[in-house]
Structure 1
């Protein structure tokens, strides 16, 4: 067993923290301290599609979506409204080992606070990110899929801070849970997920004054975790890792391409219920084409429709990826076809409403993600700081698949095989 670099690692997932936020965020007191005392990059390259659950699974497994199997936030649920859909909440859906499994083998303590895809995971202290749908009870669902005593204790202490999933209250609750976990449990690995920035970008756009307020709140939250580490007396043995999972792009036009498949009869109504032979599952900035098994005719028809649509400027299709080109991204091969949206456009699954909505005409601001990680100015931010890490070190381009092996190396556990590599260059000696 390799000796690790540090006894404790705190991984802060700063959802949607991307290179366009770096200039302001890096000047704030707490993050700037971590940057000065550590290694950093604004060119952390994400995976395709750039969706939270897809990326967080890569973060902890070190492999691309074609291997780990989480290809979207949501399993495929045609004709179900987004707010009523189930998500990939459960560890069982991940096809490969995760870094917290490696800790369990070594009898080391891991903790997760609202980390995606960790329902019923082998995490010692676990409050998974999970949502009640339909008639389900939120509190019961968390208790059932996390560590019940751990969750109950935090809920009793800090539950009153939260107002459902409204921000900034949700992240204020999350940071209190994180502080408490550091002080009372001192886990070797704490993974914590903050959503305030992602939420603000979706609702207000990527360049609204609201974003600056969130960056300040986020810096204060990072500071609270740093204080807890100092209070717990473990500063000398701790590494902080703060990273974004994807950027966002402002959207003016929403496009509902399933309506073209419906016009062609590939999506149709029969006996009062909806059916499909080909259906686009949107990620926002891209979309998967799903085709019924062994229905080659439907696939060819759908591809012809989409190729024709790609020639129409107003429908926002930048590229249709198939075959080898799609393999290059290591995206999950749903049917071997993905559409990439142009900047300024996003895709929407719905089969009702206009084919194209101009949000500017409706006075709405909106931004989203899900685009290719190769889109310009779309890199994520990454900071790692603390014991054994070089100070003021610039990392240059790194990859999301490098995160898990690097986390494992910091803690001295074995994870593998990974598609990424340990970023040895940031370590002292």
Structure 2
């Protein structure tokens, strides 16, 4: 076991916290305090596609999607409406160990509050991010897949703060659970997922007045968590790691490319059931092209349709990536092709409505993510702060795969089989 730099690590995933939010957020009282007392970057490069569950799995495993196996928020479920789809809720779907597994092996305590892909994970105090679908019971589903006594206690104490998944109530609940957990349990590692900013960008766009209100709310939540650490008497021994998982981009046009495939008979109905030879699974600003196995004709037809659509220009396809290019991104190996949307466009699976919908014409504001991590102005922010970290230290370009090895370095645990590296330059030696 290595020697750690700090006894406690509090990781706050600040969903959708990207470089365009830095100027305002970094001037707010609590984040600015963490920056002064730590290292930071506005050039944290995410993974492809930039979807929450894909990125959060990389954060805690230190490997790219081609190794950890979480390629989307949702497993592939053709023709199932988005609201009824299963998500990658369970740790069993992750093909490699996570940092909290290494903690358990070192007899250290971990806690997770609404951290993605942690259903039935080896986290001591766990309220997984999980949602009831169809006729399931939400409370029962959390108890079954998290830590029952811990979850019941948090629900009894703070459940009244919540109104389903509505904001700001959900993040207020998460923050109160985090505060309570720090004071009562003092976990060596606490993973917290806060979603208010992501929700606001989706609903209002990236540059609406709502965003500033959320940044202020988020700073207050940060302050509450910092205050809990102080009250628990562990401030000198704690490192805070605050980071975004992806940016968002304003969308004017929603594009349903499966309709082009349907027109050419690649998606069809047979005996009252929908079937596919080719199917586009949207990931917001990107999409996976699924092809029926050993159907070369379907592949040729589909590539022909998509290349024509690229030439047409009105479908918002920026690139059709082949496997060689996807290997460069370390993208999941389940498909041979992916599509990247142009800025201002996003993809949807649906077969109803127009192929291209102009949201501006309908007076709808919307933003999304999923795009290539290399899109302009789309990098994430990170702040790592504590007594062992150099003050006001600018990190420059770093990668999402560097996060888990850095967590391991802070806590002094062995976690070496990563695609990233520990950011040891941030420490006072």
Name the residue aligned to 2:207. 207
Aligned residue runs from structure 1 range 138-149, under 5 A: 138-149=138-149
**Cα offset, 1:297, TM superposition:** 1.6
Alignment of structure 1 residues 374-389 onto 2, 5 Å: 374-389=374-389
Measure, in 2, the Cα distance between the counterparts of 1:416 and 1:143. 32
Deviations 1:256-287 (A, max 9, x none): 00001101111001111111111000000000
Deviations 1:101-124 (A, max 9, x none): 000001100000000000000000
Alignment of 1:278 onto 2:278: yes
2:313 maps to which residue?
313
* Cα-to-partner distance string for 1:380-407 (whole Å, 9 max, x where unaligned): 0000000311000000000000000000
| Aligned Cα root-mean-square deviation (Å) | 0.6
Question: How many Å separate the matches in 2 of 1:335 and 1:383?
Answer: 35
Q: Could you tell me how far apart the structure 1 residues matched to 2:296 and 2:172 are? A: 50
**Residue aligned with 1:402, SS:** helix
After TM superposition, the structure 1 = structure 2 runs for residues 23-422 of structure 1, keeping only pairs within 5 Å, are 23-422=23-422
Alpha-carbon distance in structure 1 between the residues aligned to 2:237 and 2:362: 53
Does structure 1 retain, via aligned residues, the 8 Å contact 2:37–2:387? no
- TM-score of the superposition, structure 1-length normalised? 0.99
Corresponding residue SS for 2:60:
helix
TM-score normalised by the chain length of structure 2: 0.99
Contact 2:120 2:145 in 1 (8 A): yes
Task: Give the secondary-structure state (helix, strand or coil) at the position aligned to 2:23.
Answer: helix
- SS of structure 2 residue aligned to 1:315: coil
Distance in 2 between the 1:365 and 1:106 partners?
48
Deviates more, 1:293-302 or 1:7-16: 293-302
1:333, distance to aligned residue in structure 2 (A): 1.9
Once the two structures are TM-superposed, the CA of residue 352 in structure 1 deviates from its matched residue by 0.9
Task: Please tell me whether the aligned partners of residues 288 and 334 of structure 1 are also in contact (alpha carbons under 8 angstroms).
Answer: no
Count of residues in correspondence between the two structures: 429
Residues 109-153 of structure 1 deviation map (CA, whole Å, 9 limit, x = unaligned): 000000000000000000000000000000000000000000000
Q: Is the 8 A contact 2:203 2:365 kept in 1?
A: yes
Query: Does structure 2 conserve the Cα–Cα contact (< 8 Å) formed by 1:406 and 1:423?
Result: yes
Q: Secondary structure at the match of 1:319?
A: strand
On the 8 A contact 2:178/2:225 being kept in 1, the answer is yes
Post-superposition shift, 1:323?
2.4
- Kindly state the Cα deviation for residue 416 of structure 1 after the two structures are TM-superposed: 3.0
CA distance in 1, matches of 2:91, 2:231: 32
In structure 2, how many angstroms separate the alpha carbons of the residues matched to 1:293 and 1:87? 24
Tell me the CA shift for residue 325 of structure 1.
1.2
- Alpha-carbon distance in 2 for matches of 1:361, 1:383: 39
**Is contact 1:158–1:177 with CA below 8 Å preserved after alignment?**
yes
Give the superposition deviation at 1:347.
0.3
Distance (Å, rounded) in 1 between the aligned partners of 2:37 and 2:299 = 53
Which ranges in structure 1 are unaligned for 5 or more consecutive residues? none
SS at match of 2:252: strand
Q: Contact conserved, 1:408 with 1:414, CA < 8 A, in 2? A: yes
Are residues 1:3 and 2:32 paired?
no
Q: Name the CA distance, whole Å, in 1 between partners of 2:399 and 2:168.
A: 30
| Distance in 1 of aligned mates of 2:60 and 2:198 | 20
Secondary structure class of the residue paired with 1:132 = coil
2:13 counterpart of 1:13: yes
- SS state of the match for residue 251, structure 2? strand
Separation in structure 2 between the aligned mates of residue 138 and residue 382 of structure 1, nearest angstrom: 32
CA distances 1:340-372 after superposition (whole Å, capped 9, x unpaired)? 000000000001110000000000000000000
Equivalent-residue separation in structure 1 for 2:60 and 2:385 (angstroms): 19
Task: Extract structure 1 runs of 4+ deviating beyond 4 A.
Answer: none
2:425 corresponds in structure 1 to: 425
Residues 289 and 334 of structure 1 are in contact (CA less than 8 Å); yes or no, is this contact kept in structure 2?
no
Deviations 1:166-185 (A, max 9, x none): 00000000000000000000
Distance apart, 1:158 and its partner CA? 0.2
